Amino acid sequence: MKSLIQKLVETPGPSGFEYAIRDVIREAIDGHADEVRVDALGSLIARKGTQTEDGMRVMVSAHIDEIGLMVTHIDENGFVRFTNIGGISPLTCYGGRVVFMDGTRGVIGIDGIERGKMPMLSDLFIDVGATSKADCPVKVGDVCGFERPFLDLGKRMVAKSMDDRVAAAVAVEALKRLEATPHEVHFVFSTQEEVGIRGATTAAFGVDPDVGFAVDVTRSGDTPRVNPKMATALGDGPAIKVRDSSFIADPRLVDWMVTTAEKADIPYQLEVLEAGGTDGRAIQMTRGGVPAGCVSIACRYIHSPSEMVDSDDVENAIKLLVVLLSAPIVLD
Ligand code: CO
Ligand code: ZN
């Protein structure tokens, strides 16, 4: 499992440029799905199972894009200026290393900041080692992701893009382990979540599910001065989302998820996330509306190059997803 997560987090794929990570997913699920297709926005959709009388068409969505940077212009000395793809804080950038889709590397520098003043993204630049604009190997519109090796701390794992590659790993593993299901399950590895839940929006319309689940990371409320306070903690089990700022999970589905977790003796925690959204919104709001929920993995330092998750939470999230997808879904 750790090697799959490592492979997923170390493959670059900022929103809109998911071709390399999509190939890694395709290879990881090879031979385990009944049908695999890619939609126009690049989401990979793997169908598994045949719907029986007790079954539904179920969508499970984990996004495979990650936050990154896009080149806006290059100055006469070859310094690369950029804008953000998704939610990037200047705090996590300075001194960081980036890798462009063609393998070009660079470091993020900053200057001209007044002492004590919070920098803005426009104060930062990427230095790719160019000596002039003419020999700069990148051009306007090129994208890069952060570069940081996977770190195995035993029970805890750290990497850039745990959001949401750890959930992609959970979905891959659940797809592989799912044996008997009454449902036709569509595992969606969605694109462009970080820029507005776009891939899941078209995927949900295309799949036309009866019910759906997002799988994503959520904030962890167990660091020293977390603000706002949150009930989640690393290691307390997968989180069953009640609400985030993008959607309110269907309460019937939440109840059923809780009951199912308890029956299967899988630890879980309840989650209310005050700022942040997931593919669950796209599923819920598609067509005439669809009951939707979300299985979350608590994560520290989200959207930094060092996002931390707990190994037991990952394993239990897989177990929970498999159990949820193996039973008839009861909404009452
Ligand atoms: Co994110
Ligand atoms: Zn995410």
**pLDDT tens profile 277-319:** 999 999 999 999 999 999 999 999 999 999 999 999 999 999 9
Query: What mean pLDDT value characterizes the chain?
Result: 97
Q: What is the spatial distance between Cα 55 and Cα 50, in angstroms, rounded to a whole number?
A: 8
Residues sharing a CB contact under 8 Å with residue 192, sequence separation 6 or more, in sequence order: 15, 16, 18, 41, 42, 63, 65, 198, 199
CATH code at 258? 3.40.630.10
Domain annotation covers residue 331: no
Same domain? For 55 and 183 the reply is yes
63-99: pLDDT as tens digits: 999 999 999 999 999 999 999 999 999 999 999 999 9
Mean local confidence (pLDDT), 167-192: 98
What phi and psi, each to the nearest 5 degrees, are found at residue 122? -70, -10
Which residue among 173, 193, 194, 307 is the active-site one?
193
Domain annotation covers residue 311: yes
Q: What is the spatial distance between Cα 97 and Cα 253, in angstroms, rounded to a whole number?
A: 42
Active site residue 18: no
Same domain? For 190 and 272 the reply is yes
Domain annotation covers residue 177: yes
> Of the bound ligands, which one is closest to the alpha carbon of residue 297?
2
> Of the bound ligands, which one is closest to the alpha carbon of residue 194?
1
Same domain? For 60 and 77 the reply is no
233 Cα: distance to centroid of ligand 2 (angstroms): 17
Among 146, 180, 195, which residue terminates a domain? Answer: 146
Alpha helices in the chain (DSSP H): 2-9, 19-28, 162-177, 198-207, 251-263, 280-284, 311-326
How many other β-carbons are positioned within 10 Å of the β-carbon of residue 39?
17
Same domain? For 54 and 191 the reply is yes
Same domain? For 219 and 293 the reply is yes
Same domain? For 248 and 178 the reply is yes
CATH code at 92? 2.40.30.40
Q: What is the spatial distance between Cα 305 and Cα 234, in angstroms, rounded to a whole number?
A: 18
Same domain? For 319 and 252 the reply is yes
**Domain of 56?**
2-66+160-326
164 Cα: distance to centroid of ligand 1 (angstroms): 7
150-162: pLDDT as tens digits: 999 999 999 999 9
Cα–Cα separations (whole angstroms), residue 41 to 37, 92, 140, 189, 192: 12, 29, 22, 11, 8
Domains: count for the chain: 2
Buried b or exposed e, range 140-163, using 16+ CB within 10 angstroms: eebbbbbbbebeeeeebbbbbbbb
In angstroms, the first-to-last Cα distance of the chain is: 36
Q: How far is CA 31 from the centre of its chain?
A: 24
Among 83, 113, 146, which residue terminates a domain? Answer: 146
Domain annotation covers residue 332: no
255-288: pLDDT as tens digits: 999 999 999 999 999 999 999 999 999 999 999 9
Beginning with the edge strand found earlier in the chain, give each strand of the sheet holding 292-299 in spatial order: 35-38, 44-48, 184-190, 57-63, 211-219, 292-299, 239-243, 269-272
pTM of the entire predicted model? 0.97
Same domain? For 268 and 170 the reply is yes
184 Cα: distance to centroid of ligand 1 (angstroms): 28
Which residue shows structure tokens 């990427």? 126
Domain annotation covers residue 271: yes
193 Cα: distance to centroid of ligand 2 (angstroms): 7
124-148: pLDDT as tens digits: 999 999 999 999 999 999 999 999 9
Mean local confidence (pLDDT), 15-36: 98
Same domain? For 56 and 201 the reply is yes
Same domain? For 168 and 232 the reply is yes
Same domain? For 37 and 99 the reply is no
Domain annotation covers residue 298: yes
Cα–Cα separations (whole angstroms), residue 301 to 103, 159, 223: 26, 10, 9
Rounded to a whole number of angstroms, the CA Rg of the chain reads 20
Q: What is the spatial distance between Cα 161 and Cα 159, in angstroms, rounded to a whole number?
A: 6
Instruction: Say whether 179 sits in a helix, a strand or coil.
Output: coil
Domain annotation covers residue 154: no
Same domain? For 219 and 283 the reply is yes
> What does the pLDDT read at residue 112?
81
Among 146, 171, 205, which residue terminates a domain? Answer: 146
Domain annotation covers residue 169: yes
